[in-house]
């Protein structure tokens, strides 16, 4: 009997782990708008960023990370990693965020959205020279950004449609994105339907260039907003966050802003012995205060 009980417990644990990392394709067949793409998703761990990145995403997915049932509170966050629409920083801006959210009882879905086709197996080396001129980078990214935003919208639709299966409350689904993932977040946040409206938005050091998002008008029913960045952002993106916050306030919508003195761009979940190390705790405070951590 003892052996049987242990076996059942092990089976349930394994089942939970499998469920926690369920990979879900967002579209049946080829994703609309990129039907001609023939390349396959890949990973690189030996690059100038010194971190694992995903690239050549042509079939968008979400990977589900679900909290233990005793902690689950019904809230979900779709997490969009950054990477200048060339790569996805899948760990510090994706999986590590998801696991932190799980500890708070929040379901997380790491989004792999479509990115620019890399021609080599080192997408970071391809990207770095392009970072010197945002205009040229924007021009190269322009055809892909609407597809990535569409993937963000589709992710919300899918999670909402399957909320019961995931143990999620349909009106407690937020969207968080880092850098280019922040572009995806606000691309959805400025233009949505009832089916794909986020219930809250959390752009983290987002890129909001006009070539990336042409129409930046705060919607009449704009979701609550949490924004975070560092003043010493190497890409000069801190003003994008402050403008976003100001626009939300001007429209008399709920918003919270955190601008740290130091932290640079792309701090994510990295530990630098700086106040930015605890930005996600401030996000947790915000989730709690706005009621999204209540069961």
Does residue 294 belong to any structural domain of this protein? Answer: no
Query: What percentage of residues in the chain have a pLDDT greater than 90?
Result: 91
**Does pLDDT of 293 surpass 50?**
yes
Domain of 135, CATH number, reads: 3.40.50.1820
Predicted pLDDT at 4: 38
What pTM was computed for the model?
0.93
Residue 98 lies in a domain: yes
- pLDDT at res. 85: 98
Dump pLDDT digits (tens) for 142-195: 999 999 999 999 999 999 999 999 999 999 999 999 999 999 999 999 999 999
pLDDT at position 255 is 98
Give the model's confidence band at 15: pLDDT under 50 very low, under 70 low, under 90 confident, else very high.
very low
In this prediction, residue 21 has a pLDDT band, given cuts at 50, 70 and 90, of confident
Q: What range defines the domain where residue 135 resides? A: 22-289
Give the pair of three-digit tokens for residue 243: 């403008």
Across the chain, mean pLDDT equals 93
- Interval 208-240: pLDDT, tens: 999 999 999 999 999 999 999 999 999 999 999
Report the domain count for the chain: 1
Domain presence at residue 256? yes
In a domain, 184, yes or no: yes
Over residues 122-129, mean pLDDT: 95
Residue 5 in any domain: the answer is no
Within a domain: 268: yes
pLDDT tens-digit series, residues 67-124: 999 999 999 999 999 999 999 999 999 999 999 999 999 999 999 999 999 999 999 9
Does residue 72 belong to any structural domain of this protein?
yes
Q: Is residue 8 part of a domain?
A: no
């Amino acid at each position: 009997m003892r052996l049987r009980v242990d076996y059942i417990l092990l089976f349930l644990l394994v089942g939970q782990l499998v469920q926690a990392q369920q990979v879900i394709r967002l579209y049946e067949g080829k994703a609309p708008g990129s039907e001609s793409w023939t390349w396959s998703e890949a990973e690189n761990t030996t690059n100038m960023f010194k971190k694992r990145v995903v690239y050549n995403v042509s079939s968008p997915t979400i990977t589900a990370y679900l909290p233990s049932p005793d902690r689950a509170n019904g809230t979900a966050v779709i997490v969009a990693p950054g990477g200048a629409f060339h790569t996805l920083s899948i760990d510090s801006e994706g999986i590590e965020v998801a696991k932190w959210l799980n500890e708070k009882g929040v379901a997380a879905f790491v989004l792999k959205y479509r990115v620019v086709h890399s021609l080599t197996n080192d997408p970071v080396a391809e990207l770095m020279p392009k970072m010197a001129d945002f205009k040229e980078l924007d021009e190269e990214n322009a055809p892909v950004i609407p597809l990535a935003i569409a993937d963000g919208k589709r992710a919300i639709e899918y999670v909402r449609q399957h909320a019961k299966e995931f143990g999620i409350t349909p009106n407690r689904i937020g969207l968080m994105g880092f850098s280019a993932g922040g572009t995806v977040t606000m691309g959805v946040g400025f233009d949505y339907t009832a089916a794909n409206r986020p219930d809250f938005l959390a752009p983290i050091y987002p890129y909001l260039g006009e070539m990336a998002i042409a129409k930046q008008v705060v919607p009449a029913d704009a979701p609550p907003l949490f924004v975070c960045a560092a003043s010493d952002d190497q890409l000069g993106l801190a003003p994008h966050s402050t403008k976003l916050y100001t626009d939300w306030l001007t429209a008399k919508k709920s918003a919270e802003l955190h601008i740290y003195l130091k932290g640079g761009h792309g701090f994510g979940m990295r530990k630098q012995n700086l106040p930015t190390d605890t930005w996600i705790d401030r996000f947790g405070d915000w989730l709690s205060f706005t009621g999204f951590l209540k069961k």
